[in-house]
Amino acid sequence: MAMKCGCPGSAMQDLRGKKAKAGAKAGKSARQESELRQWPLQLHLVGAGAPYFENADLLIAADCVPFAYANFHPDFVKGRAVVIGCPKLDETEHYVETIAEIIKEGKVKSVTVAHMEVPCCFGIQSIAEEAVRKSGRKIPVKEEIITVDGRKQ
C-alpha cells in the first residue's frame, strides 16, 4: 500500500489481532492497555480504504481530547476505528472529503466526535456532520464534549 508521505511511521498498521493476543498474555495488571486498533490516526495520513474502517464505529477526536480526558481509551477508543485532527491548527480543507470517503467506502456504522469545550474546537463537529451528509449514508453522529479540566460535559 502506498503511503501518503515517505515517513515509515505513516505506514498503515492493523493492530486489531495483536491487541487481543497481547491482552490474553498480560493477565491482570495495574497498567491499562491501549485500546488502539490501527495506525496511523492523523486525518492527513489515513487511507479511506483501510480494513479497520470496514463496518466500524468511527471516532473522530480533536487532538487535545486524549490529553485532557483520562479515560479516553476505555470510554472512546475501545472498539472503534480512530482518526484525529485539530480544527484550529490543521489545514482542514480536505477533512470533509477524507471522512466522507472513510464513511462511504468503509460502510461505517456510526460516528462519535470527541472535542474540547473551547469555541475553536467545535469546528470538528461541523466537519464530521458535513462529511456524513456528503457520504450519502444515514448514520448516527454523537457529540462528546470534554471540559478543559478533563470532564465529560
Domain limits, the chain: 40-146
Mean per-residue pLDDT over the chain, rounded: 90
Give me the pLDDT at residue 29, please.
Answer: 58
- Residue 82: closest CA among 122, 33, 131, 37: 37
pLDDT tens by residue, 92-141: 999 999 999 999 999 999 999 999 999 999 999 999 999 999 999 999 99
d(CA 142, CA 58): 10
Give me the pLDDT at residue 35, please.
Answer: 96
Give me the pLDDT at residue 12, please.
Answer: 85
d(CA 108, CA 132): 10
Note the pTM of the prediction, 2 decimals: 0.85
**Residue with C-alpha cell 462529511?**
131
Query: Does the structure show a pLDDT above 90 at 60?
Result: yes
Candidate from 7-16, 44-53, 82-91 with smallest mean pLDDT: 7-16
Mean pLDDT of 63-70: 97
Give me the pLDDT at residue 1, please.
Answer: 45
Q: Which residue has the higher pLDDT, 21 or 43?
A: 43
Q: Decide if 115 contacts 62 (C-beta within 8 A).
A: yes
CATH number for 40-146: choose from 1.10.730, 3.30.160, 3.30.410, 3.40.50.
3.40.50
